[in-house]
Amino acid sequence: MKLLLFILLVSHPLYCSSSDELLSQIIDNLLKTSRPDRYGTYEPKAVGNDWFAIEVDAADRHRADSIARTAGFVIEGRLQSFENIYLASKRSRHKRDTDAIVRELISLKEVKWAEHLVPLYREKRAVIFSDPLYEEQLRSWSSPPNMFIAEAWAEGFTGKGVTLAVLDDEVDSSHEDLQLAYDPDISYSFVKKHPRGTEETHGTRCAGIIAMTANNSKCGVGVAHQSRLGGLTVLADNQFLNDAIEGDALAYKSDRIDIYSASWGPKDDGQSAERPGSLAQKAIEFGAVHGRRGLGSLYIWASGNGGLEEDDCAMDGYASNLHTITLGVASSTGVPPWYAEGCSAVIASISEASTNSNGMVTTDVDNKCVSFAGSSAAAPLAAGILALALEAKCSAPGTKTSSITSDNEHLATSSPSYWTVNGAGLRFSRYFGFGVLNALRLTTSARYWKTVQPVSSCSRQFDVLNGTFSANSPLTIELSFESCAETSAEVNWLERLQFDVSITHPRRGLISLFLTSPA
């Protein structure tokens, strides 16, 4: 067994910048908001084995056409959020090894990088039932554990001045309850144009939780109902994603979008283990560090609905990413809902609320209203609460450093078996994180946040040779790590830890890996 990488990382909390703050230097000149040119807009087509993403080192963008034609490729368009990365297709009657085609591309003098685009299945975090009374079993916001959203509104925080984007299927921008908040300038469709499918309601429902208009006698009120909302269409019936589409969407206008909300991921089947591709990972890293005018955009992810399949969000490389904020769901009884997935990446949770409520009212396509359930609601609801916090921070800068504020007293009392106490003396649950988000506490403390130091990371490689283990004889490995003390990469406050491990075993499902802190 070989342990590849051990990383300590510190990330920054939410904070506000002045309007004239300059953008931070862009990493490796790849990720930029697109400028209009003939590659600036493209209509993605069905992606198969003959599609590739290539990075061309050419000052003249039209040079990309010439380079591609030389190798028998056709440039289909440029990505919206990446500088000099194009979609290319290979027109060939005979199927070839895709690795050989990539090597052929990279061998060209002006091609810096290339990747074969594999179709990716992405599942919306939806819970769908045919039971006629299921909608009546959904929960409300204010039942224990209370998220205190209305109380934050009473303090004057409604998301004004904050921009959010829902990455999902198409948002119905014509809906009466979304028209006021919807901003076409931060919206884009990354999928092939098509009539709306019968299952393409998910994005509109997520959008409504964030931004439904108040006092218009329609549906309900969005958590951040005075925010600006964009729809980034990446999901569609009978269409697959790929790394280029994901990366393009995750980096789209990150200088303007404060918060991205995503309620989808790999299959929740207890078997699928996937992580972002190279472009998607670059996009998330760039946005989290350099987005939001140099302060870092927030990427909010739902933990997943694979509870019945014994799925674990640690197997989801989007939810367990160092640069995303993952939300779980807590029931009023203090136990995880039947569909809930847990993992150490869950930072906080939202309240599913009581069994007596009418549920989370939100928008539906064709100007309808509907109730919404599952972890799909967690990401947009948390995104809305964090939008209130960003507004609060901008309204009253102060001197106190803080972080995401949540309540865990009710849950810890109701279900102590789901909780542990970490080395810092804080309660933590792999299903609920540090507790249910408390909008009132969050907005109150946000007014006193101050900027922390830039992210610092420290890594070390360990080699463990000929390590063996079995069901009756587990392998325990103790690793000593000094966090790069007295170096430029010294880590003084630990927020995230990543452990990359490579194990050779004939059946991965039989392996359990536990990472234990000495604290």
State the greatest distance between any 2 C-alpha atoms of the chain, in Å, as a whole number: 68
What pLDDT is recorded for position 65?
85
Is 24 a member of any domain? no
Least Cα distance to 378 among 297, 437, 315 occurs for: 437
Q: Which residue has the tokens 């884009």?
A: 188
Residues 289 and 372 grouped into a single domain: yes
User: Which of 428, 446, 464 is at the close of a domain?
Assistant: 446
Residues 267 and 404 grouped into a single domain: yes
For range 221-250, the mean pLDDT: 92
Phi, psi (rounded to 5 degrees) for 109: -55, -40
DSSP β-ladder status, 123-124 and 264-265: antiparallel
Q: How confident is the model at residue 519 (pLDDT cuts 50, 70, 90)?
A: low
Catalytic residues: 168, 202, 376
Q: Which of 63-67, 231-235, 301-305 has the lowest mean pLDDT?
A: 63-67
Q: Which of 93-102, 114-123, 131-140, 250-259 has the lowest mean pLDDT?
A: 131-140
Other CB atoms within 10 Å distance of the CB of residue 275 = 13
Q: Which domain holds residue 92?
A: 48-116
Residues 427 and 329 grouped into a single domain: yes
Residues 268 and 385 grouped into a single domain: yes
- What value, to the nearest 5°, has the Cα angle with vertex 21 and ends 16 and 22? 130
C-alpha dihedral sign at 175, 177, 181, 187: negative
DSSP state of 313: G
pTM: 0.78
DSSP element (H, E) containing 64 = helix 63-70
Residues 112 and 208 grouped into a single domain: no
Least Cα distance to 328 among 436, 421, 403, 406 occurs for: 436
Residues 235 and 294 grouped into a single domain: yes
Is 404 a member of any domain? yes
pLDDT in tens, 13-51: 344 543 233 223 222 322 333 333 333 344 444 444 578
Task: Determine the residue type at 351.
Answer: S
Statement: residue 401 has pLDDT above 50: no
Residues 54 and 177 grouped into a single domain: no
Is 479 a member of any domain? no
As a whole number of angstroms, the distance between CA 244 and CA 253 comes to 16
Other CB atoms within 10 Å distance of the CB of residue 317 = 19
The half-sphere exposure of 114 on its side-chain side, counting CA atoms within 13 A, is: 24
Residues 213 and 149 grouped into a single domain: yes
Is 377 a member of any domain? yes
What pLDDT is recorded for position 469?
82
What pLDDT is recorded for position 348?
93
pLDDT in tens, 171-210: 999 999 999 999 999 999 999 887 887 788 999 999 999 9
What pLDDT is recorded for position 180?
97
As a whole number of angstroms, the distance between CA 254 and CA 259 comes to 9
For range 157-167, the mean pLDDT: 97
Residues 105 and 153 grouped into a single domain: no
Is 344 a member of any domain? yes
Is 264 a member of any domain? yes
Is 313 a member of any domain? yes
pLDDT in tens, 425-464: 889 999 999 999 999 999 998 888 877 777 778 888 877 7
CATH value at residue 228: 3.40.50.200
User: Which of 446, 476, 507 is at the close of a domain?
Assistant: 446
CATH value at residue 103: 3.30.70
- Asked if residue 358 lies in contact with residue 282, where contact means CB atoms within 8 angstroms, the answer is no
Statement: residue 219 has pLDDT above 50: yes
Residues 280 and 419 grouped into a single domain: yes
Residues 200 and 106 grouped into a single domain: no
- Asked if residue 220 lies in contact with residue 384, where contact means CB atoms within 8 angstroms, the answer is no
Phi, psi (rounded to 5 degrees) for 338: -60, -30
As a whole number of angstroms, the distance between CA 320 and CA 298 comes to 14
User: Which of 446, 480, 502 is at the close of a domain?
Assistant: 446
What pLDDT is recorded for position 353?
60
Is 192 a member of any domain? yes
Residues 81 and 217 grouped into a single domain: no
Instruction: Give me the number of domains the chain comprises.
Output: 2
Q: Which of 65-69, 220-224, 325-329 has the lowest mean pLDDT?
A: 65-69
